Structure 1
Amino acid sequence: YETGADREAIARAEREEYDRGVLIDGSVPVGRPLFRSGFINGRLASERYNGQWLLTGGLLADAPRRYKTIDPHGQTREATKNEIALFERARHGGAPALAEKTRLRGFQAGQDGIAFRSDDGMALKAWPGGDSSLEIACPADSCASVSWFAWAPGGKAIIFASRDHARTGAQSLFVWDLEKNAVRLILASDGGLHGGAYFHPDSRCAVTQDAAICVAAEANSPPRLERIDLETGARRVMFHPNEALARASGPPAELLTWRSAEGIAFSGRFLPAAGLAPDARAPLFITYYLCAGYLRGGMGDEWPLAALAAAGVSVLCIHKPSGESVLATEDYRSALSGIEAAIDILAARNIDRTRVGMGGFSFGAEIIAWTAMNSDLLAAGSLASPTLSESYFWRRALIGEPFETSLRTRWELGAPHETPAQWRKIGLQHNLDRVRLPLLMQFPEEEYLASIDYFAPLMRRKAPVEMHVFPHEPHYKFLPRHKRAVYERNLDWFRFWLQDYVDPAPDKADQYRRWKALRKLQAARP
């Protein structure tokens, strides 16, 4: 087995930095607390960028690897060179050079070949017998949107799941027979076969000789462990830890499909408001990004969607269309057109278009900013992460590549003095007069300073905004007590602004005093 630096060495390195001062360079997440600021493997640790976009690891993460061997009697010793070589060959299926080339695209070696995704990361290919000259490509349309794949025992077939963006990313299970070069559908799912984990959508099923063991979830059905027969597609629940939650689910989520004025195809999951009188019109909450699997809290898991619907607020989770544009502004425009079209469709049913709220995380937060700056659709908003700002840029400017290339390619942004027109176009801080909606900001500690460019001016203008920051949280909040606080505050926020509802709980009195003051500020704005 392989190890890096041990915890004692890491703790010494952290303490030495604390005592002697932290050297600021491109590896340091500028703007975060510098000493033991985030959780790594359950321990508060000092963090460094690890070279993969803005992801972080701990101090000494780049320390030389050490290899150990445990013998059958449980004795541990340093591994020999021969054992290390065997270890590396086993890890990479006997083809370490190919693994280095393709592992980021899902390289897998089987008993009788090698499978991997193509350079674009989508199409599935295989080298029967491990011979690259015999390369074959998966022949079905379903092979163009592969979520995960695994060799079936015996090495003659590959089991894979494919996403259907026309059904909010629902996954279906297929088998690719390599000898016949033919693909057969095993099961068409209406949800995910990965447990609904948004940040691990490629988590795979375990494949046996005759079954796939999967964590399955649909919009209304929380995750459970299932056995899926590879021949018949028959499903059997093996373990259902969320059975009580499944029984408590409200009305089923409706699959909604539509096209924007530009002709772009959208799909989403719609939860109707509960307890609505036949002729009444309901407020609407929208979250935009990904809607695969169980509809718990939207992308980022911040908004209690079922609780909102149960409280009389209809909910629409919009799944962003497949095929991301090179330019973010094109995706912003298409998102806004899709949101407008969805509101038109639902307004023809029983939605009150004057009471529409929206919550967004990461790219979804960018969509809220763009929508707020370029329309009057929204009556209230909630951001789970900051949007692009000059502070965001300068806090990461020391990273260099690949950050700067990505920023230029995707957002057409350089340093503020290099691309001032583009910063004015997409930066919330440059368009404050166009932002009319009340905004709740619930940010992780590692990111909140990136919002100071627009939060502080909005506060000084006495705009209806409020920010809460959660210590020790990364981009995606994960501590249970924080998730609960975020859920409760978001539920209260949208019920307050969309329904004029005030929870009478005594411990929430201060919250509502603040929000009633914000409402007066909102009413006084010209």
Structure 2
Amino acid sequence: MVMLSALLAAAAAPAQAPGGERLPVAVRDIVEVAEISGVALSPDGRQVAYRIGRPSIADNDVRLDWYVVPVDGGVPTHIGSGGAARFGGAGAIREQSPVWDSDSKGLRFLALRDGAVGLWHWRTDSGLAAELVPDADIIAFQPAAEGQAIRYVTGATRAAIAAAERSAYDNGTLVDHRLDPMEPIAGGGIEGGKRVMMRLPGAWFTRERILSDAPRTSTLLPVAIGAVGGAGPQGEKADSAGGSRAEIGDGTDIIVTRPDGRRLACRAAPCRDGKIVALAWRPGFDELILFERTGSAREQLWLWRVGSTKARQLAAVDGAQRSADRPPRCTFGRERFVCAVAGPDSPPRLVALSYSDPARRVLDDPNRALRARISVTARAMRWPRGVTGILLTPKNAVRPLPLVIQYYRCPGFLKGGIGDEIPMLPLVEHGIAVLCMDRVRAPKEAGTEASYALALADIDGAVGALVDEGLVDPGRVGIGGLSFGSEVAFYGIRNTRRFAAATLASGQMSPAYYWANALPGRGFAAMLKEYWKIGDPDSDPAGWRRLSAVYDVGPIDTPLLMQLPESEARYVLELHTKLKLAGKPAELFAFADEPHIKKQPAHKRAVYERNLDWYRFWLKGEEDSDPAKTDQYRRWRGYRAAATAPVAAASLPPSP
């Protein structure tokens, strides 16, 4: 039990080949990176709990394990399994913060085991055991009644959900605004090894289990030993134990309101730059930790004593993107704080830091074998309009280099970018530079197309600077991405000839996309009008001809590889068929049982491998020697040979 973390890390691939040379980072390595989440200090500040998720291609699953380690250092203690991985509606793995016992000798967390999400309790003297597994899955829990109880929330019972799924299968499913008709009706998701029926709760891609809209029930569970929250309050508002409230106000104001109503504004330099995204109180002190965003998920931590005109720099941290449904990456005690950190060329690890000493103590490094093999130059970039990004280049490579661009966000370890689609380190291993750029939005009133144009202008400027530097070959630039990043990539290949290859991970705008989602009640049509400034295809044909490529595939000559979730692949069937009929170098792969962000490790491996091969082929003329890829390269060589061949107009279907 105690040594499991160390044993799993030791079992990872060695850093060197038998001959002593460094083993290059391969696709399998980045698929199976261990992720750290749920970091929470014990009430006495001596231990920290955390969860490690380890994807496995062989098992096509993610193994979850909880650990506790002394903040002063030592061997992590494996306290038990976190159960089967659960995923959010868009495909990201669900995270949680554990709740410690007040005596620091135990903690609680939720786990999906044997088809049920229950509350599990670990104690140092008795180990891990199920504490509560009601007939409905527990959705959330937290301390209540001043720590003397746990309040947990449930929805529909598992029996009711099973009955609803059976009824929908036997009696047919009503096609309304909650159903995505583009995914399998019998169930478009896999959870705990079981196919489940999903529904759409809103206008976007997020899906939830059938009956997720059932009324919630809140119940108190008395506990013998007091319960204490995990990571501590952290966000745009934070309340101290003494009753003071700190909050990020309008503009750049950070205000502390005392219990007697007095208001104190922070006048320190970090408080005035408008980049503070979260606050937290240092336990036992009248001091605030300020989180200043410096790019994507990169943050600078400051310590500000309330009333002072200065703030002291603590540390720079990077890791998971900050969001409302993801626990904080750092947890704070009186004398020390602990963070799950990562960097563009540094996979996740757990570190302890002091308020008075900048040195970091590594508490757990589940990726240390991979870390020893990484050989890349990571360079932080900044351009006009506050655009930030990261450039990854091979060490000692011959210039100018081919380049692949991902435009959206660049958080933490750059294994694949947002959605894990672009195999960044393997590309660098093959002599291809990678540029990840953080998104900058156009004003909302300008519409999303203005954001596409702004992105393309920023990409132009960034690539131009790298070309002027002699680093990048302008004739060998590729682009790819997920969601908004895929929209930018597709906008780029529709409107310019500057990209030599492209990959898309998400569906694109089409009339089929509109009519599949625009049933009354969902809010989709209003959302499209608000963000894209467009009506339906019948009432706004000019807008759709501008927005959707299905009306004219002629300008698209860039070799295009689309690897999409099954439901989103159906949105681009018309586009794909027209591209093929026009003799364009395009391929479409559809992945079953996947949401917006692919979650199955086997699928991630396939996507990474094919994207790597695609960019190597079109940017460098290289082919993998694997005989299993013979047919793939036969097709691709055919596309390349036919790229300049004329296509008879009669072979194209008429425009609608």
How does the TM-score come out when normalised to structure 1?
A: 0.84
Q: Secondary structure in 2 aligned to 1:434?
A: coil
Aligned-partner residue type, residue 303 of structure 1: I
Report the more deviating stretch, 65-74 or 195-204: 195-204
Q: Choose between structure 1 and 2 for higher RCO, CA contacts under 8 A separated by at least 6 residues.
A: 2
Q: Confirm whether residue 505 of structure 1 aligns to residue 626 of structure 2.
A: yes
- Deviation track 1:98-133 (CA, whole Å, cap 9, x = no partner) reads x9xxx9x7555442134455578x86555433x7x5
Q: Confirm whether residue 157 of structure 1 aligns to residue 278 of structure 2.
A: no
Aligned-partner residue type, residue 225 of structure 1: L
* Equivalent-residue separation in structure 1 for 2:275 and 2:394 (angstroms): 34
Shift of 1:266: 2.8
Shift of 1:72: 4.7
Q: Secondary structure in 1 aligned to 2:562?
A: strand
Q: Secondary structure in 2 aligned to 1:378?
A: coil
1:376-387 paired onto structure 2 within 5 Å: 376-387=497-508
* Equivalent-residue separation in structure 2 for 1:53 and 1:107 (angstroms): 27
- Deviation track 1:442-497 (CA, whole Å, cap 9, x = no partner) reads 00123221222312211222211111111111111111111111111110010011
* Equivalent-residue separation in structure 1 for 2:435 and 2:180 (angstroms): 35
- Native 8 Å contact 2:379 2:391 kept in 1: yes
* Equivalent-residue separation in structure 2 for 1:394 and 1:428 (angstroms): 16
Shift of 1:43: 4.2
Q: Secondary structure in 2 aligned to 1:490?
A: helix
- Deviation track 1:273-332 (CA, whole Å, cap 9, x = no partner) reads 45633xx53211111111132111122211111111110112111222377654212211
1:267–1:64: structure 2 CA closer, same or farther, 3 Å change rule?
closer
* Equivalent-residue separation in structure 2 for 1:313 and 1:172 (angstroms): 30
What is the aligned partner in structure 2 of residue 302 from structure 1? 421
Query: Aligned pair count?
Result: 488
Shift of 1:378: 0.3
What is the aligned partner in structure 1 of residue 108 from structure 2? none
- Native 8 Å contact 1:186 1:232 kept in 2: no
1:64–1:106: structure 2 CA closer, same or farther, 3 Å change rule?
farther
Q: Confirm whether residue 249 of structure 1 aligns to residue 379 of structure 2.
A: no
What is the aligned partner in structure 1 of residue 514 from structure 2? 393
1:25–1:276: structure 2 CA closer, same or farther, 3 Å change rule?
same
Instruction: State the identity as a percent.
Output: 34
* Equivalent-residue separation in structure 1 for 2:480 and 2:330 (angstroms): 31
Q: Confirm whether residue 320 of structure 1 aligns to residue 439 of structure 2.
A: yes
Q: Secondary structure in 1 aligned to 2:291?
A: strand
Shift of 1:362: 0.7
1:200–1:60: structure 2 CA closer, same or farther, 3 Å change rule?
closer
Shift of 1:387: 1.9
Aligned-partner residue type, residue 299 of structure 2: Q
What is the aligned partner in structure 2 of residue 345 from structure 1? 465
1:368-517 paired onto structure 2 within 5 Å: 368-398=489-519, 400=521, 402-517=523-638
* Equivalent-residue separation in structure 1 for 2:351 and 2:325 (angstroms): 18
Q: Confirm whether residue 113 of structure 1 aligns to residue 244 of structure 2.
A: yes
- Native 8 Å contact 1:40 1:57 kept in 2: no
1:56–1:185: structure 2 CA closer, same or farther, 3 Å change rule?
farther
- Native 8 Å contact 2:405 2:437 kept in 1: yes
Shift of 1:49: 1.7
Q: Secondary structure in 2 aligned to 1:254?
A: strand
Aligned-partner residue type, residue 168 of structure 2: E
What is the aligned partner in structure 2 of residue 21 from structure 1? 172
- Native 8 Å contact 2:442 2:451 kept in 1: no
What is the aligned partner in structure 1 of residue 313 from structure 2? 186
* Equivalent-residue separation in structure 2 for 1:173 and 1:314 (angstroms): 30
- Native 8 Å contact 1:369 1:428 kept in 2: no
Q: Secondary structure in 2 aligned to 1:5?
A: coil
- Native 8 Å contact 2:245 2:256 kept in 1: yes
* Equivalent-residue separation in structure 1 for 2:432 and 2:386 (angstroms): 25
- Native 8 Å contact 2:579 2:586 kept in 1: yes
What is the aligned partner in structure 2 of residue 224 from structure 1? 349
* Equivalent-residue separation in structure 2 for 1:385 and 1:289 (angstroms): 13
- Native 8 Å contact 1:273 1:315 kept in 2: no
Aligned-partner residue type, residue 195 of structure 2: L
What is the aligned partner in structure 2 of residue 82 from structure 1? none
- Native 8 Å contact 2:375 2:394 kept in 1: no
- Native 8 Å contact 2:236 2:277 kept in 1: no
Structure 2 runs not aligned, ≥5 long? 1-151, 648-656
Shift of 1:21: 0.8
What is the aligned partner in structure 2 of residue 128 from structure 1? 258
* Equivalent-residue separation in structure 1 for 2:516 and 2:166 (angstroms): 24
What is the aligned partner in structure 1 of residue 298 from structure 2? 170
What is the aligned partner in structure 1 of residue 156 from structure 2? 5
- Native 8 Å contact 2:268 2:308 kept in 1: no
* Equivalent-residue separation in structure 2 for 1:199 and 1:235 (angstroms): 27
1:382–1:446: structure 2 CA closer, same or farther, 3 Å change rule?
same
Aligned-partner residue type, residue 238 of structure 1: L
* Equivalent-residue separation in structure 2 for 1:252 and 1:67 (angstroms): 51
- Native 8 Å contact 1:274 1:312 kept in 2: no
* Equivalent-residue separation in structure 2 for 1:484 and 1:155 (angstroms): 48
1:212–1:460: structure 2 CA closer, same or farther, 3 Å change rule?
same
* Equivalent-residue separation in structure 2 for 1:240 and 1:360 (angstroms): 29
Q: Secondary structure in 2 aligned to 1:489?
A: helix
Q: Secondary structure in 2 aligned to 1:63?
A: coil
Aligned-partner residue type, residue 239 of structure 1: D
Aligned-partner residue type, residue 254 of structure 1: R
1:276–1:174: structure 2 CA closer, same or farther, 3 Å change rule?
closer
* Equivalent-residue separation in structure 1 for 2:626 and 2:345 (angstroms): 29
The CA RMSD measured in Å over matched residues stands at 3.1
* Equivalent-residue separation in structure 2 for 1:310 and 1:196 (angstroms): 26
Q: Secondary structure in 1 aligned to 2:165?
A: helix
What is the aligned partner in structure 2 of residue 293 from structure 1? 412
Aligned-partner residue type, residue 177 of structure 1: R
* Equivalent-residue separation in structure 1 for 2:249 and 2:514 (angstroms): 33
Aligned-partner residue type, residue 403 of structure 2: L
